[in-house]
Amino acid sequence: MTTPPKALEISRVLSHALRHAPAQYGLSLDAEGWAPVGEVLGALHRMGPEWESVDEATLHEVLDAATKKRHQIRGGRIRAVHGHSIPVQQAADPVQPPDLLFHGTARSAADAIRESGLLPMSRQYVHLADTVEQAREVGRRKDADPVILTIDTGIAAAEGISFYRSDSGVWLADEIPASAVRAS
| Confidence category of residue 1, pLDDT binned at 50, 70, 90 | low
On whether both 66 and 106 belong to a single domain, the answer is no
Q: Is 1 part of any domain?
A: no
Q: Which of 92-96, 98-102, 127-131 has the lowest mean pLDDT?
A: 92-96
Q: How many helices (H) and strands (E) does the chain have?
A: 6, 9
For residues 95 and 165, the answer to whether their CB atoms sit within 8 Å is: yes
Does residue 92 lie within any of the structural domains?
no
Indicate whether 162 and 105 sit together in one domain: yes
State how many domains the chain has. 2
Residue 157 in this model has a pLDDT that exceeds 90 = yes
> What is the DSSP secondary-structure string of 137-158?
HHHTTT-SSPEEEEEEHHHHHH
CA angle 9, 11, 13 (to 5 degrees): 70
For the chain, give percent helix, strand, coil, nearest 5: 35, 20, 45
Is 131 domain-assigned?
yes
CATH number at residue 17: 1.10.10.970
At 41, the pLDDT band (50, 70, 90 cuts) reads very high
Amino acid at 65: A
The range of the structural domain enclosing residue 127 comes to: 100-183
Q: Of residues 184 and 104, which shows the higher confidence score?
A: 104
Both 123 and 178 in one domain: the answer is: yes
Boundary-marking domain end, from 16, 49, 80: 80
CATH number at residue 107: 3.20.170.30
Round the average pLDDT of the chain to a whole number and report it: 89
CA distance 79 to 68: 14
Q: pLDDT at residue 91 above 70?
A: no
Instruction: Report if pTM > 0.85.
Output: no
Judgement on whether residues 179 and 121 belong to the same structural domain of the protein? yes
